[in-house]
Amino acid sequence: MSADTPLTKDTEPGAGANTAGGELIRLAGVTKRFGTNTVLDDLNFTVDPGKHVTLIGPSGSGKTTILRLLMTLTQPDEGTIAVDGEQLFPAPEKQIREVRKKIGMVFQQFNLFPNMNVLRNITEAPVQVLGMSKDEAEARARELLELVGLADKCDARPTRLSGGQQQRVAIARALAMRPRVLLLDEVTSALDPELVAGVLDLLRDIARSTDITMLCVTHEMGFARDISDQVLMFDGGRVIESGSPEKIFSDPEQDRTREFLGAVL
Ligand code: ADP
């Protein structure tokens, strides 16, 4: 991908940014419970613009819940969440809708609209949510499909595509909204093993050649090591250790981190 792709242009530093306070994402004192299960326990962290942060840790430690909170698919019981200097929670409904536009998410199970072709899957939200003209949305969708290597699949239904191709469409769909933050939730977990590398290579390419901020939950430790500026190790709804990938993967401080990495590497 070259430096002058439409993707890069749309994610230039400062594009639509409110740089107050420096960080793009701020979670402060976030607690989330499901019944008596405290899933996130007084969580605090910030992510600076353009950084790639990977969340690792055992299943059930609360990683996906953080992404879902940022997508406003669920709400915290306590604490505040801000994106780009604007409060996402708690906030009035109208503000939540506006802040939410800055965030795109790619899910484990693709979540494409099965009744729409590939092009429409990508243009639907830019037209409906951003008010983009159909022509502009289609032109951008075609550029993004080129970027993800699926320029010839505009008219295909998602069910006709392989899992890897569906995930590429889902990535293009998320980028079509020109988000400042891209949330990736175990995006290769549902793929056949031979399709994993291609999707990870695409994401590496996007991470390298754009300044989009990424928050990534993954069990692909090689990928995490490659793309991350920072790795957060979760256990029991808390960050028990954080640092550079070199530090976390080669010389972790916590026994729990070592034990977890020993089991997955
Ligand atoms: P991870 O991504 O680290 O595997 P999750 O954030 O998916 O962890 O889940 C953390 C905990 O929250 C788990 O115990 C899970 O069962 C629970 N949980 C997640 N979503 C719900 C829900 N909608 N209702 C009840 N419990 C949930």
- Is the pLDDT at 219 greater than 90? The verdict is yes
Task: Output the pLDDT for position 191.
Answer: 96
The per-residue pLDDT for range 9-44, each reduced to its tens digit, is 343 333 444 544 589 999 999 999 999 999 999 999
pLDDT band at 111 (very low <50, low <70, confident <90, very high): very high
The per-residue pLDDT for range 169-181, each reduced to its tens digit, is 999 999 999 999 9
Mean pLDDT (the chain) is: 93
Please enumerate, as own/partner, the contacts of 90-99 that have beta carbons within 8 Å and a separation of 24 or more.
Answer: 96/72
Task: Output the pLDDT for position 22.
Answer: 86
* Strand ordering across the sheet containing 78-83: 37-47, 25-34, 78-83, 86-89
For ligand 1, the distance from its centroid to the CA atom of residue 206, given in whole angstroms, is: 29
Task: Output the pLDDT for position 12.
Answer: 37
Task: Output the pLDDT for position 207.
Answer: 96
pLDDT band at 249 (very low <50, low <70, confident <90, very high): very high
Q: Which of 27, 43, 64, 232 to mutate to test ligand 1, by most ligand atoms within 8 A of the CB atom?
A: 64
Task: Output the pLDDT for position 7.
Answer: 54
- Compute the distance between CA of residue 225 and CA of residue 245 in angstroms, rounded to an integer: 5
Smallest CA separation from ligand 1 atom 11, residue: 60
Alpha helices in the chain (DSSP H): 6-10, 63-70, 93-100, 118-128, 134-147, 163-176, 193-209, 221-227, 245-250, 255-264
Task: Output the pLDDT for position 265.
Answer: 85
Average pLDDT over residues 191-196: 96
**Nearest atom, ligand 1, residue 65 CA:** 6
Smallest CA separation from ligand 1 atom 1, residue: 60
Smallest CA separation from ligand 1 atom 5, residue: 62
- Compute the distance between CA of residue 161 and CA of residue 221 in angstroms, rounded to an integer: 27
Alpha-carbon distances, residue 169 vs 115, 196, 222 (angstroms): 14, 14, 23
Ligand 1 site, CB within 6 A = 34, 37, 39, 57, 59-65, 217
- Is the pLDDT at 4 greater than 60? The verdict is no
Query: Which amino acid is residue 2, in one-letter code?
Result: S
For ligand 1, the distance from its centroid to the CA atom of residue 247, given in whole angstroms, is: 28
Structure token digits, residue 225: 């090591």
- What's this model's pTM, rounded to 2 decimal places? 0.93
- Is the pLDDT at 97 greater than 50? The verdict is yes
Structure token digits, residue 166: 């569906």
For ligand 1, the distance from its centroid to the CA atom of residue 13, given in whole angstroms, is: 34
- In contact, 61 and 237? CB cutoff 8 Å: yes
- Is the pLDDT at 87 greater than 90? The verdict is yes
**Helix axis angle, 118-128 relative to 134-147, nearest 10°?**
130
Quick check: bond before 76 cis, omega within 30? no
